[in-house]
A and B are shown apart, each in its own frame.
Chain A
Amino acid sequence: MYFRETGQFKSKYKEELAAFPIFEDKIGIAIAALLAFVLIPIFGLPGLSWDFTMSAVMIPVVIFTITTLGLNILLGFAGQISLGTAAFMGVGAYSCYKIMTIFPDLNALICVVLSGVVTAFVGTIFGLPSLRIKGFYLMVATLAAQFFLEWAFIRIPWLYNYNISGAIEVPYKEMFGIVLTGAKSEPLTRYFVCLGFLVVLTWLASNVIRGRIGRSWMMIRDMDIAAELIGVRPLTAKLSAFAFSSFYIGISGALMVFFWLGAAEVESFDINHSFTYLFMVIIGGLGSITGCYFGAILVWVVPVILKEYGKSVFGIDAFVMENFTTILLGVVMVVILIVEPHGLARIWQIAKQKLRLWPFPY
């Protein structure tokens, strides 16, 4: 009996179509926002140093949530599998670098958005095979994208401005006198930039998904023949999903390099990272926006925190702890997928359902 829908009557369709029709959900979101915007930036996470909390936990998890959102739009909502996520993040990062070089006076945030647009174009091109092939075969085609783009990042020196290091070097940028990027920028600034992007992008994604375009993606995912019969053109639906998803992934790639790592080589965009993002989506829950948050938090935050606690609280050797967390995370993933194949989002949903009726079983 933690919350009840009883008594929350909706007399207009508009009210029912709202993002959070239930009052208790609004409270939950407010608490989460309070944590992310106020409490954690002020106090950090318990047991971890503030600097570490920001630069190793919060900034990356926010960025990876954006990546996961992007991949989930493609995989969970449109049903098109992709293994090229990391490479598309690379497209975002390198194009952001090029845009900053070509237009040195352009605002850093606009550069990030533009790099998302460039990635959307590239993603659409690599999405073309999806019109012909499905499932595992499409996966292989996107794998080709991964390998080709990685090759391009090394072999085309124009992309990294002919730097001797072969890496992206993040330039100094500021806005309203606040340093945004470069070595001198404050972690707090970078965190709030990333968080701002996450909030806006989540809102946009949830809007699109609940509307006509989102439904056309889900139609293609669930039953493409019936979708075609209702008038969904597969070409438009699939390619728009690739474009929209790549836009998110591109932005997250640009944020990752310019607001987190500070410098990046091609190793940051290799296939192992693609798999990690795929794990986040699957563990979090396919076709769920809340799931993206859960997935990114479980796969990224939990191991980092465990490692730190292992060192500071139990005094376990860092190397041992590293292996231990890998094993533990593997076990947790397998257990979650056996217990609930639809991921954490579904577990959350079931829990809410139970809480609604608690203490009665039905």
Chain B
Amino acid sequence: MVNEQKKVMMEVKNINLRFGGVIAIQDVSFDIQEGEIRAIIGPNGAGKSSMLNVINGFYHPQEGEIWFRGEKRPSMEPYEVAKTGIARTFQNIALFKGMTTIENVMTGRQLQMNKNFFWQLFRYGPAIEEEVEHRRRCEEIIDFLEINHIRKSPVGSLPYGLQKRVELARALAMEPELLLLDEPMAGMNVEEKQDMSRFIIDVNEEFGTTIALIEHDMAVVMDLADRVVVLDYGKMLADGTPKEVQSNQAVIDAYLGVAH
């Protein structure tokens, strides 16, 4: 596929993140182009999740800039970042355990719903119309991810693979422009991984959502990703297409170790 000069959606520049004396991320820069699937890989503790947390606004890096849609982003709190159209799933499932699947997906619509407290109080007129309208959108997403049968089940009792899928549904309900997936396939069997990969590609192609994902399964990463960033000990090792990264000596050393 010829990569005709795509627009850059997000760019992180020279990010430095420290916790006291621990350097989590050191001078990392990369960009995410519109409509691509961008993978971030690296051994454990490489700073991948920290990177997502920086993008999300959970961590505020000591140095560095984040550019989103051509503008430098000021320091933001997570709920402000959510408004700019960035959604995310978690490494450890972070579903709302006390709610059912449909309610969990509905929570993703939180920002799109805006009828005020007094309409909510009487649940009448605009408030109920809004509820119905967003319910319809959520049902579409539930259809898309094939989780209709667990619509009314409390999420706590679902098997792991389905919980991950519900989390993806919740993130999709936000209709994000940039979707961050933190190990979407951790702990899944081959079949579940295949399903998940298919959903990720479908999301990317049908909704045109830009995706940045962290994953440990190299086969999956190399098949899915358009471009890959490799981190190790908070530093950036390589950035390029899966093929380039695979043949990079520094990456091979980091993953396999070097003979002393």
Question: Which residues on A are within 8 Å of B, measured CB to CB?
Answer: 12-14, 17, 204, 207-208, 210-216, 218-219, 221-223, 225-234, 240, 287
Contacts and interface: CB of A to CB of B under 8 A. Distances in A.
A230 B108 contact: yes
Given A17-B132, A212-B115, A222-B98, 19 more contacts: A14-B132, A204-B122, A207-B122, A207-B123, A212-B110, A213-B120, A216-B110, A218-B98, A218-B99, A219-B107, A227-B96, A227-B107, A228-B82, A229-B56, A230-B107, A230-B108, A231-B174, A234-B79, A287-B98
A226 B97 CA distance: 12
Interface residues of B, number: 39
Contacts of B56: 229
Contacts of B111: 230-231
B96 A226 contact: yes
Interface stretch (B9-17, B31-39, B87-95): B87-95
A231 B82 contact: yes
Contact of B79 (A14, A17, A233): A233
Contacts of A17: 128, 131-132, 135
A228 B78 contact: yes
B110 A208 contact: no
Interface of A, secondary structure class, is: helix
A229 B88 contact: yes
Contact of A231 (B79, B117, B123): B79
B110 A215 contact: yes
Contacts of A226: 90, 94-96
Contacts of A228: 77-79, 82
B132 A232 contact: no
A287 B106 CA distance: 18
A225 B86 CA distance: 15
Contact of B127 (A211, A218, A221, A227): A211
B250 to A, nearest CB: 33
A210 B94 contact: no
Contacts of B96: 218-219, 222-223, 226-227
Nearest to B117: A213
